[in-house]
Amino acid sequence: MGDRHMTSRKTWYLLVDRTPKDGRWNMAVDEFLFRQVQQAPLTYLRFYAWDKPTVSLGFYQKTEKVLDLEVCRRQGVDIVRRMTGGKLVLHHEEVTYAVASSEADIFSASLKESYRLVSEALILGLKRLGLEANLASATPENYKRGNLPCFSFPAQDEIEIKGKKLIGSAQKRVGQTFLQHGSIPLRNNTSLLQLLTPKRDDGQSSLKMISLEEALGRVIEFDEVVAALISGFSEYFNVEIRPKVLTEKDREEIYHLEREKYGNPDWVFQR
């Protein structure tokens, strides 16, 4: 953890949405937090869930290359586009985390280094649940260059257990400010994910992923996971974590982002 810790503990601000929310709202809140940290040096930590199966597309992805829209309609699966890069993720029965920060003295001015630090804090949180996870060492070339879903393979510095991806993350950075968010499946929904993504004929259709319940060998729910991860972040970064309550003005900004951007088909489908 090195010399980035201050002698006096810094304060981070925490949002936990225990009631699952619509994907457009979820993405709008994350962008709102990213905008907030651009105005002053601070850090937000957020945990949330999704009210129905929802696919999120990475910022640069072309919808038709990675997703079967007709199957999504038939299965009642929502579609949103993230402000972060990365690959397609199916959000369903999971814990999603987000870190928005402009505190380069805690993290780093580098995308790669801040990504690794967040991953190490998550690993410490997972240890609280009795899991020994580690950072993946390298990104497979066919995964890096192709249109496979996020949970096909662990990429470098993503979190894996026994060679299978447990957490898939993506980051957006502007200068020293970044947003990183990621999906932590409680249960395995690979059968639905495989239905939604175009069939492949190169033998790369299998998904190297594992859910928390598979890794633990028991049922686990949102609150237990979040408590462990908050503890991991607090210890790893040596910070005090205090609840943040959204004001009416905050909510108005989020509603505007939800309506004008994340609910806009031009944004979602890159029209």
Residue reference for tokens 């410490």: 124
> What are the Cα distances from residue 42, in Å, to 98, 170, 204?
14, 20, 42
Task: Please pick, among 117, 150, 225, 239, the residue that the annotation labels catalytic.
Answer: 150
Q: Are 193 and 207 in contact (CB under 8 A)?
A: yes
**Burial per residue of 36-58, b for 16 or more beta-carbon CB atoms within 10 angstroms, e otherwise:** bbeeeebbbbbbbbbeebbbbbb
Q: Which of 91, 83, 103 is nearest to 48 (CA)?
A: 91
72 is catalytic: no
Rounded CA-CA distance 112/50 in Å is 28
Rounded CA-CA distance 260/174 in Å is 22
Active site residues: 150
